[in-house]
Structure formats: structure tokens, C-alpha cells
Amino acid sequence: MRFLTSGESHGSALAAIIEGVPAGLELTATAINEQLQRRQQGYGRGGRMQIEQDQVKIISGVRGGLTLGSPVTFLVENRDWPNWERYMAPGTEADLTQRTVTVPRPGHADLPGALKYHQTDMRNILERASARETTMRVAVGALARALLTLLGVEVWGHVLEIGSAVSDSGLPMDVAFRERVAASPVACGDPDAALRMMAAIDAAKSKGESLGGIFTIVVDGLPQGLGSHVQWDRKLDGRLAQALVSIQAIKGVEFGLGFRAGALPGSQVHDEIAYTQSKGYYHLSNRAGGIEGGMSNGEPIVLRAAMKPIPTLYAPLVSVDMQDKTEVKASVERSDTCAVPAAMVVAEAAVAWEVACAYLDKFPADHVDELVAAVNNYKEYVKGR
């Protein structure tokens, strides 16, 4: 499978075209909208989330609630478009003299994008570089999630840190913990830590600051052997890391023990292997985070990603006006104080997409019935080895 997205933050709409989806997959706008709504929630979000109430339109590739095997097209209209049509119109009627941006924000795509694409108005950069783009990645991820659900695979996340507020809840896999995550304004299953996180966001907002954090993504229910060791670009962990780092503001990714593995002896890093007739091969721990040699090893994939603070600050940093090269304060666009819970939802979508692609790489199928049958046959083979 593959997909492309398009659209600007204050343009008329965002779109995605997805190719390679097997026929027969149940897909509804309701299921996609549930994920879009999750992306818009979270403590510390800005005013844009009160304007946009994202609803997807399925334009092609689905009939009667089932995919056809042809390209699937999604469209999400921007409700803020009437306020921006005068300035963002694609035709020559666009007003290019107002709402221009000539002062780049430190930490944003503004400056390198303006230099790369020969732009004097950085609105032409920030409109696409904006995290509004992730709306369509969440929609695409919802399609992938529907495919994974059919295969008995679950993808979920939870927030570990926001600023200096840290949860020490570890990695509970029980339903009660996940329900607390779903109900938490900061997607944290540790109630005490969640309160500290919200207090940290409030303190940052009062100072015109922004906060980043760390979240965990878990993928449960995978067989051994997704991905491959034979080429660098087929390694599952490599593909997942690239997908996550492509999300705006994500600066680091680790699997299992991650960076801690560099300080431990091998006996405390590698996962011992066991076998029973009922389970087949399994591991006595999961320090590798479910991936060895670029392939899933049958244990849950566990990864963590670090998000930097959002670069738009209401107490802006020093920058340079590109028109006259004078030192000025950076420009301010409407923004969030903290978007870590939202980034976690985007990361779930990105991970779901890569895992779904890994399934179809190993089990090519034109219809979901073929896919399910192939996966089940493979599981029986692996269990009997």
C-alpha cells in the first residue's frame, strides 16, 4: 500500500489518496471520525481545535461500506477556510499583501523551507509544514487500523512524560489501564502523574511557553516474521522509526530498552527463548521491544517517541526579519501549549500504517479473505515448527 496527502493548514481542505487496499475491508466514515476526534482532544490544545471539527468524506474506493480494491480517497474540509479564502485562494485573486510572514520561528520549518523553495513569504512554507497535515495521516491510519483489527492486532499508546512531570506506571497491558488512558485529558493512565502533567501545562501557558514529552506505542497480536533482515529498507524497526520521526516535532525513537541497552551487559538485554506445544516459540522477556533483526519476533512491539515543545511561543524567541535582516521577535501563529497526547494519536496511526503495509508485503492479497487465510495458515506453520 501507499498513500499521498495534500492540503494547506488554512486551505479549503485536506486530502489523501490510498492505493493498494485489498477489496472487502469494512470501512466507515464513523470509524475514521472517531480517530480524528481523538487527535483534536488533549489538555493544552489551542483555539484551532475549537474551530475545526474534522469529519472525513470518503470520495472513492468504497461502496456499501466495503473497499473495492481501487484507490481510496479521503477529504476533510477546513471550517476555517472562509476566514482565509481571501488570502489562500489558488487563483490570482488571492491577497498576497496581508497575513504575510517574514520572520521565521526558531525550531520551525520556516527558514530552511523559505531558502529551499525561494519564498519571501513564509506562509507558503508553514501552511504545509503545519501539524494540521497529520489530520490526513490519522485518517489513513484509521484505514490501516481497520485492516489490523481484522487480523487480531491492536495498536494503542499512552503518555509517559510532559515536561518534567513523569509517570512511573511502567507498561500495564490490562483493560483498566487502557480505559484510564482513554479517559485522561493527557492520555496518561497514571492519575497522579496526569494531574502533575496538567499543572505543568498550566504553568507553561501562563508564561507563554510550550511543552513536549514522551509517549509509548504498543502493537499487540503480531506473528513472527513481519519485516525482513535482507535489506536496510525492509527492516520493520527502521520503517517504524522513519514513520515516527516524520511526524512534526518528534525528535527521537527507541524500541524496548532503547538507549538503556547501551549501558547494560548482554545478559540483561537479550530475551531468552522458550517453547511449548500450545504457544510455540516465545520469549521470557521483551527487552527488544518485539523486534529482532528488523523483524517482528512475536512479542508486542513497544516503542517510545520524544516530542519537542511546539516552536510557536506566545513569548517568542529572537529571530531575524528576512526583509531587512533586523533582529526581531519571532512571528506568532495560533498554536497549542502542549500537543503530546495528539502526537501520540498521530503516532498510533503512523505505526498502524507501517504494520499493515508489513502484513501486505508478506501476504500480498487482492481481497481481505485471502489475507486472513494466508495469515492464519502462516501462524499455524510457525506454531508447528
Residue 324 has phi, psi (to 5 degrees) of -125, 5
- Whether residue 49 is predicted with pLDDT greater than 60 in this model: the reply is no
CB-based burial label for 374 (10 Å; 0-12, 13-18, 19+): middle
pLDDT bucket at 53, cuts 50 / 70 / 90:
confident
- Whether residue 52 is predicted with pLDDT greater than 80 in this model: the reply is no
CB within 8 Å of 192: residues ≥ 6 apart: none
pLDDT at 333: 72
pLDDT at 270: 97
Cell numbers found for residue 363:
501476504
pLDDT at 336: 87
H/E element, 273: strand 273-276
Q: How many residues does the chain have?
A: 385
Query: Rounded mean pLDDT of 215-222?
Result: 97
- Whether residue 172 is predicted with pLDDT greater than 90 in this model: the reply is no
Residue 121 has phi, psi (to 5 degrees) of -110, 110
Measured between alpha carbons, how far is 273 from 285 in angstroms, rounded to an integer? 9
Integer CA distances (angstroms), 366 to 68, 149, 153, in order: 10, 18, 20
Query: Rounded mean pLDDT of 273-277?
Result: 94
Question: How many of the other CB atoms lie within 10 Å of CB of 140?
Answer: 26
> Is residue 346 within 8 Å of 39, Cβ to Cβ?
yes
Q: Give the 3-state secondary structure of residue 11.
A: coil
Question: Domains in the chain: how many in total?
Answer: 1
Cell numbers found for residue 139:
485518517
Residue 280's nearest CA partner among 228, 236, 223, 218 is 223
Measured between alpha carbons, how far is 251 from 231 in angstroms, rounded to an integer? 25
Measured between alpha carbons, how far is 1 from 5 in angstroms, rounded to an integer? 14
CATH number of the domain bearing residue 275: 3.60.150.10
pLDDT at 171: 74
Domain that holds residue 315: 2-384
Q: To the nearest whole percent, how much of the chain has pLDDT over 90?
A: 89
Measured between alpha carbons, how far is 98 from 86 in angstroms, rounded to an integer? 9
Measured between alpha carbons, how far is 99 from 270 in angstroms, rounded to an integer? 55
pTM for the whole structure: 0.95
pLDDT bucket at 343, cuts 50 / 70 / 90:
very high
CB within 8 Å of 276: residues ≥ 6 apart: 282
